[in-house]
A and B are shown apart, each in its own frame.
Chain A
Amino acid sequence: MGFIGDQIDSLKSLKVRQALEQVITLGMIVSSALIIWKFLMCVTGSESPVVVVLSESMEPAFQRGDILFLRMGEDPIRAGEIVVFNIDRREIPIVHRVIKVHERNDTKDIDVLTKGDNNDQDDRVLYAPGQQWLQHQHIMGRAVGFLPYVGYVTIIMTENPIIKYALIGALGLLAITSKD
């Protein structure tokens, strides 16, 4: 019968009570993923604790598809740190290195300038028109850890939605039909 045949057989033999149990199991998986994500948000203080690198602007340090772990922390931002920041009216956050910091005496407000290691110019061309510096509210977190390649799956899935739905479908089917 093979793999697919097995799956269809097990689908046919499902009973209502068993089906309900599988739905609950599926719900548990989804909600525990959500719990882990929210927990990481609390621990790291960053609104997105894990990001996937999408551009080549930080090569060779980070390549497309690498995963970065972010932390916000209480420490002030300093030059050399790799920060993730969001420009007003830009959807995709940017991961670049801080090259200049000016910290105000009275308010402790900071002005930060960033640049991608692989770029020739600093990031003023990317900022909003007329914007010279990043302030604290633009910065979502700083990179503290690194895992290569793992995020490539998400890039493939965003670029080919068919693969995404096929994968979700297959996983869903497996979760519903598995009997352990």
Chain B
Amino acid sequence: MHSFSYRANALLTFSLTILALMCAMASLTDNFNSPSPTATVQILNVNRFQKRSNGDDEVAITLNISADLQSLFTWNTKQVFVFLAAEYTTPKNTLNQVSLWDRIIPTKEEAKFSVKPKNKYKFIDQGSNLRGRDFNMTLHWHVMPKTGKMFADKLVLPGFRLPESYSYR
């Protein structure tokens, strides 16, 4: 009964159980955090608005994004992935989500920021529906834990509208 292998086995099992339990509890404590992030987004300029050779609309814009996501961070947070997506409906599609910009936030200190980027990913429609199109800018965040369950939420900023006509610089 009290051989070396028996004791080693018992010790290993016990420590793994404790470790798993601690991971589970660390993940559970995330539920006590009720974050209240804030964000504002502006379109500073429409740099280019054209129809591509295959018929799809493409627009290039400069954005102004300010956000305070510090309340998302807990002791079990490894990073927050934040991205801004243009979301709109067209006659063909019930939903179009096009990522325009994203950022990985590794620490709480960097979670309050203000940036003026050009769109990082191409804003291309499936078709030619962008002229005069009303759309929402949605700031999504995905909270990556050190261990356990991942969280995600978003802030919808409505009331954006693309120009009525193409523009070539």
| Residues on the A chain within 8 Å of B95, using CB | 101-103
| Residues on the A chain within 8 Å of B92, using CB | 104-105
Interface residues of chain B, those whose CB is within 8 Å of chain A, are 1, 3-6, 23, 27, 78-79, 81, 83, 85, 91-99, 102, 104, 106, 121, 126, 140, 142, 144-150, 152
Which A126-172 residues sit within 8 Å CB-CB of chain B? 143-148
Interface residues of chain A, those whose CB is within 8 Å of chain B, are 3, 6, 60-61, 78-82, 97, 99-105, 108, 111, 117, 122, 143-148, 174, 178, 180
| Residues on the B chain within 8 Å of A103, using CB | 93-96
Q: Whole-angstrom distance between the alpha carbons of A61 and B152 in the complex?
A: 14
A68 to chain B, nearest CB (A): 9
Can you offer 26 A-B residue contacts whose CB atoms are under 8 A? A3-B5, A61-B78, A61-B79, A61-B104, A79-B85, A79-B98, A80-B81, A81-B142, A81-B152, A99-B99, A99-B102, A99-B121, A100-B98, A100-B121, A101-B95, A101-B97, A102-B93, A102-B95, A102-B97, A104-B92, A105-B92, A108-B94, A146-B150, A147-B147, A174-B5, A178-B5
Which residue, of A61, A81, A180, has the highest number of chain B Cβ atoms within 10 A?
A: A61
Is A146 in contact with B97, judged by CB distance below 8 angstroms?
no
| Residues on the A chain within 8 Å of B3, using CB | 6
When A99-B121, A122-B121 are in contact, do A148 and B146 touch as well, CB less than 8 Å?
Answer: yes
Q: Whole-angstrom distance between the alpha carbons of A122 and B1 in the complex?
A: 58
Q: Whole-angstrom distance between the alpha carbons of A174 and B3 in the complex?
A: 13
Is B150 in contact with A143, judged by CB distance below 8 angstroms?
yes
Q: Whole-angstrom distance between the alpha carbons of A78 and B93 in the complex?
A: 14
Is B148 in contact with A145, judged by CB distance below 8 angstroms?
yes
| Residues on the B chain within 8 Å of A81, using CB | 142, 152
Q: Whole-angstrom distance between the alpha carbons of A103 and B90 in the complex?
A: 10
Is B79 in contact with A60, judged by CB distance below 8 angstroms?
yes
When A80-B142, A147-B147, A174-B5 are in contact, do A105 and B91 touch as well, CB less than 8 Å?
Answer: yes
